[in-house]
Amino acid sequence: MWTDMRLALRIAGRAAQVAERAFRAGEFGVRLKEDGSEVTPADLEVEDLVRRLLAEAVPEDGVAGEERPERVGTSGRRWLVDPISGTADFVAGRPTYSVDLALENALAVSAMPSLGITMAAGRGIGCRIFRGEKEEVARVSSRDKVDGARVCLHGKRKPTLEQCVVVDGSTSVLDLITGRVDAVIAAGAGLDEFDMACLPVLVEEAGGRVTVVEEDVVLATNGVLHDAFLALLVARPGVEPGTPGL
């Protein structure tokens, strides 16, 4: 696991440098894909770099990315690449985008180069935050009451949580795994497997829980409050509980 983690950190670090150069230069060149989502030349350049570096280091592994056709491997292992997660933030000049790389269900690295922060986690080895040369262990909060809980909401179907404090969600995953918020809910946000590639490993290795409540409703919490928030979501008509994790 540590060998894979070092590889993922190295590759994500190099890819993040490419993304950051384009971000600072304002070279976006946005176009719309068939599904209506935005893509930039930087997305393609970053993904191509990650694919090339993975092919050199682990040629038998499969690679699936958001912008290029999947390469099927022979090892049974599969890497997931979201070259620029948060493209809308990227093209709007907001520094909260990330470069995400995951070994499916095993490890996750999410680099936020404009903020100088990288989140990294692996099954059984915990979750860490790197801020330049500083490294810290990531842990979720210990809050055990829904009343007053700090929540980040994303998507078009945001639930009404009058007993909670809704806070800015621009760095919601980082805030959850460092204990600054207690729950993150995405409802109607149109998340795909690449958007979700890093979330379960990061959150669960920091002590939290993740549940896909339905196709486009995802709940991530500090774990202690998970069942209580899940009950609030399930109480909404048409929403049924899903499978914990991914």
Q: What is the pLDDT of residues 56-89, one digit of tens each?
A: 999 999 999 988 999 999 999 999 999 999 988 9
- 11: Cα within 13 Å, side-chain hemisphere: 30
Pairwise CA distance, residues 118 & 131, whole Å: 7
Question: Residue 65: which H helix or E strand, with range?
Answer: strand 62-65
What is the reported pLDDT for 245?
A: 40
Tens digits of residue pLDDT in 18-30: 999 999 998 788 8
Q: Per-residue b/e over 213-232, b at no fewer than 16 CB within 10 Å?
A: bbeebbbbbbbbbbeebbeb
Hey, what domains does the chain have and what are their CATH numbers? 2-137 (3.30.540.10), 150-234 (3.40.190.80)
84 labeled binding residue:
yes
Tens digits of residue pLDDT in 110-155: 999 999 999 999 999 999 999 988 999 999 999 999 999 999 999 8
Check the CA dihedral 92-155-195-228 and report its sign: positive
Residue in the structure block whose two tokens are 């109480």: 235
66 labeled binding residue:
yes
Pairwise CA distance, residues 147 & 163, whole Å: 5
pTM for the model: 0.92
Tens digits of residue pLDDT in 196-221: 999 999 999 999 999 998 778 999 99
